Amino acid sequence: MTTPPASESMTLTSTADHRKGALSLILVIILVLGWSSPAAAWLFHATRRAAARSILRRGVNPAKLHSKARFGSGLYLSRRRSTALAEKGASSAVVKFKSSRALDKRTVDFRQPTSRSIKARLGNSDLRGAIKKSIIGPKLGRKLGRWGGKQGKVIEYRSAQTGGSNLVIPKQVLQKHPNLVRSISAR
C-alpha cells in the first residue's frame, strides 16, 4: 500500500475543511436569519376589533363573509400589514395568519391580469371596462370569485389602494379547506 504524496493529502484535507466550513456558515445564517419558505408566509386581515378577537378564538366564520366585496364572499388577506390597513382603514385591528403549502398550490396569480389569462379561466366573457391599470373591477372580480369557488382556487390580485398583493379565499374553498390559513395573533 502506498501513501499519497504529502501535497495531495493536504489538498484532500483542505477541500473537506472548506466544505465543512461552508456548511457551518449556511447553518449559522439559517439560525440567525430564520428559514424563509413560502409555506411560512404571513398574511394579514384587517377587521373590527371584536371580529379579530372572534377569529382568534373560533377561527373564521364563513357565515360572516360579505358577498358584496370585490370578489364576492371570501376571506380577504394581504401580504403586508400596511396593505391590509389601507384596504380596511387605519383604525382596524389586524389579524396575522400563517399560510400553508396547500394555499400556495391553490393560488392563481392575477396581479398582472390580461384578457387572455382571464378568458382562459372564464371563457369568452365580456371584459370591457373590467381591468384598469392591472386592477380587476368588481363585476369581473365576482365572476372570478365564483370561478375560484367552483375550481377550489385562491385568487391573488393587486390592491386598488396600494398596488400591493392581496388574496381572496372564496367562501366555498374556505369551507372545504379550513386549514389553508391559521390565525396567529391580532394587533
Q: Are residues 134 and 182 in the same domain?
A: yes
Report the domain count for the chain.
2
Q: Are residues 51 and 134 in the same domain?
A: yes
Per-residue pLDDT tens over the stretch 160-179: 899 899 999 999 999 999 99
Q: Tell whether the model's pLDDT for residue 127 goes beyond 90.
A: no
Q: Are residues 48 and 100 in the same domain?
A: yes
Q: Are residues 50 and 88 in the same domain?
A: yes
Model pTM? Answer: 0.77
pLDDT band at 129 (very low <50, low <70, confident <90, very high): low
- For residue 25, the enclosing domain spans 1-35
Q: What is the DSSP string of the chain?
A: --PPPHHHHHHHHHHHHHHHHHHHHHHHHHHHH----GGG-EEEEEE-HHHHHHHHHH---GGG--TTSTTSSEEEEESSHHHHHHHH-TTSEEEEEEE-HHHHHHEEEESS--HHHHHHHH-S---TTSEETTEEPHHHHHHHHHHHHHHT-EEEEE-TTTS-EEEEEEHHHHHH-GGGEEEEEE-
| Average pLDDT over every residue of 78-82 | 94
Q: Are residues 113 and 177 in the same domain?
A: yes
| Average pLDDT over every residue of 127-152 | 89
Q: Are residues 54 and 118 in the same domain?
A: yes
| Average pLDDT over every residue of 64-80 | 92
